[in-house]
Structure formats: C-alpha cells, structure tokens
Structure 1
Amino acid sequence: MKYTLFAFLAASFLVIGCKTQNTHNQIKDYDVKLDTLTMFDQSRSRKIPVAFYTPKTDKPISEQQVIIFNHGYGFNKGGDYFVYSYLTEKLASKGYFTVSIQHEQTTDQPLPTEGHLQTVRRPFWQLGSDNILYVLNELKKIKPELDYKHLILIGHSNGGDMAALFGNQHPNLVYKIITMDNRRMFLPRTSLPKIYTLRSNDYPADEGVLPNDEEQKKYHMTVQPTLINHNHMDNKGSENEKEILNNFILKYLSER
C-alpha cells in the first residue's frame, strides 16, 4: 500500500471542510448526558462497567443508532472508558447512543508483551469480544427501541483488536467497524460489516492485519493513514488531532 503525504493532506482538508449527511447530524449539536452502570455477566462471574454517552433530547430519536466504543490497553488501572471523551461526547452530540466499555479489571492478568503476540493476546481479545456481546444483548433488553441493525463498533489499539475479533466472529451483528490503529488482530475481509481503519504515523501493523490494495478495492475497505501518533488517539491528543480523528470518523459514519 502506497500513500503520499499530499494525498493524506488533501483528504484531511476535504474531511474537515465537509458536512456529513448522516440523519443523526443536526444543525445544532445535542447536549450530552453521561451515565454509568456496572453490568454483571453471571456466566463468567465478571463485572463489566459501562459508560453511556447520550444526547439530551425532549423527544426520542427515531432509529437511533448504537455505537460501542472499546478503549486501548490501560495497564489494568481502570477508568479507561472515560479517556476518549473527545470522541464519545462528539458522537453522542450527533445523536448516537454511545456506549463505552471498561474491558480491563485491576485483578486481570497483564497483557503479554513477549512471544507471538497474535497468539498470546488472543484470549484477551476474546474477553473483549465476549464483553461486547454481553453488553449488546443486555442493551437490547433495556433499550429495545434502539437501532441494532446498524450497530457500529469503534476501538483504539487493543480495543480495535477486540472489535476486529468480534467482527470476525459475529459479522451478522455489526454494520460498521472503525479501528484506530489496531495492530495485531486481522481485520475482517468483507463488504459487510463495512471496515474502516485509521493508522498512526509511528507504529506499523503486523503482517496480514491490514488489507492489501486488491482487498481494499474488492471489499470497499478504507485504510486511512494519518500524521497522528498512536498514543495521541485518546484525550492526550492535541485539539487539532482530535478534530482530524472526529472528522474522519463522522465521515465514515455518514457513508451508506
């Protein structure tokens, strides 16, 4: 895959300047409400904290789409489902019912850093995939009015690997997957769910994770390079970096 700096900059300016056409985008953005809930998966005896970023509205939003966000590895310290608020709040302000899952617990084993990472980290991604499935099923019970036919998964780094694994395991449950620099789990080669991935400027993906040029054309997958560091894709990024990421993601959400 060959990219040029010129092409990237042109794409960036285009995205920043365009208005997305998604039905959830409003002339005036919604105010955002934050709620938290700790779910409990009895089958695994596991607590799953979640944060709900939702638009404040007087009337229900018709066919309101659901976004499940998955954070990057946080060394089991907790609170990671809040550290992408620049994005989760933006998504909620556009009318999306946005759920951010806290995948790690302080008692979990640390993420392996040695060995064949695609193998030794697979159980951790499986835990995340199982968390997503549990939260999705519970959400259908408590919020049956939401649009689950167009479920969107977004994940950064290790959370992107979880989203990619979920897409490989449950393609019929997902409409779009957007990864932010996942590096280990191969992206589904499929036209549905629709696949988009934003890449950092400092860390390459493992061989086979990203589609080649032929696969991108065949399945209409988007691999978008950026000039943003891997570790600047959460709240640590600059305001300009956050704006670039938000605009790319809103553009992908608007596409049919």
Structure 2
Amino acid sequence: MNTNTLPTDELKKYGIINEDLSFSKKLNADDIQKFLKGYTIVADNDKNRATFQLTDNNTQLKVIFLERDKNLSEIIKNSMVRVEYANVQKLLHKLLPVFSTLEKKAFIFDKETSKVVEFDFIKNAKEITAIIADKKDTEELNRYRTELLKMKSFLLDMINQYPEADKVITKNLTIVSREINTVDSIATNQKQIFKAGDSDIQLNGNAPDLYQNANQRRDDDLEQDEEVDKLRNFRR
C-alpha cells in the first residue's frame, strides 16, 4: 500500500493529519488502517456532516459535504426515548448524481452499548425493520411505516424526473417497498394477536418472532450495498 503519496495538504486542511504528518489523536490505530484501506471517515458537527475517503491509490482525498434536517444534539436526545429519523442532503449536489442527493437515516439507541447507532434506510433496511419489530410497539411501527412511505414517494418522483437513473432508483425503490410489505405483515400479525387476546385464546409462547414470520414471506435476492464503515467522529 502506497502511503508516500498521500494528499497531505488536503489531509492537513481537514485536520486528519497534523503539521508533523502524524494522524489526529482522535483517530486510533484501527481507524487509520481502515482509512488507508479505503474506508470512509465521517465527521459530524450540528447539522453538518463531511465524509473523507482516500482514492486513486491513496493519492486523492474525496470529500463530500452533507447537511441533516436536524441537529445532531437533537437527534441524540430524541433517540433516548424513541427511534429518530433524519434526512441527509448532499451539498454541491449539482456535481453529483441527483438520485443520490437524499439519504434517510434512522438513529436508534443501543442499550447494551449505551450509544446511538445510525442506520441507512437502503443499506441497513433489514436491520432497521428487525429492530423496530422487536420493540413490539405499534406507535413505533406506524412511525417507521410513515418514513418508509415518504422515502418511497421521493424515489418515485426521482424515477419520473430522471429516467436515466432508473436502474439504481428502482433497486432502492424495491428495497423500500419490500420493507413496507414486511411492516404491513408485522402489523397484521400484531392485530391478530391482540384480537386473539381479547377472545381469551391462549397463544403458543414458543411462536416464532413476528419479524421472522414476515421476513420469510419476502425474497432475499437483493444484494445489500457494501456498508460504509463509520469511523470515530472528529471535529474538522
């Protein structure tokens, strides 16, 4: 791996390396090794986000600036009591494919690690649905379905406006549509359980998980996009 041709001026500009060419102390050894192998560094500050990735045999630094519709502090606070959703818009989007300018994220508090974890609606679709289904909370499930419908509406608009990007948009639309179908199946199962409970019918305590039942009814032939590794945040 070639590290002698690193774009040092750009790396200094964004605080990834110091003047003496050492890496920022906010990056540990594992972060640095991953970065040198092509993984993406993500830096957050309020509503703004920047991603950094080395390309062309580590000779170029790819930088993308994004903006969320909510402050990070607000997202973290709300995530403590419920799943929080946010849209991420790429700035300078005229230089990028239009269909990739909007991303929808779910922020979920992980009780085991006491950290808020970010999930992408496309790359982590199955994980989000599984986590929310496991909560067995009708309100959370309905909120999630509403966000999926918003994403579907956006993608449908993109297909109409940019038919040249139909292949990529259609793939994303298929993922979102399948999650909507899965959520609908889960909601139907929950209603049946509630109805059975009202009728004093004894349910089998060993019945399979609702998400598992619904998930078995959908195809799994979509290849998930490679998830971008989120490294430790640091200020620019």
Structures share fold, TM-score greater than 0.5: no
| Structure number with larger C-alpha Rg | 2
When normalised by structure 2's length, the TM-score is: 0.30
Give the structure with the larger helix fraction.
2
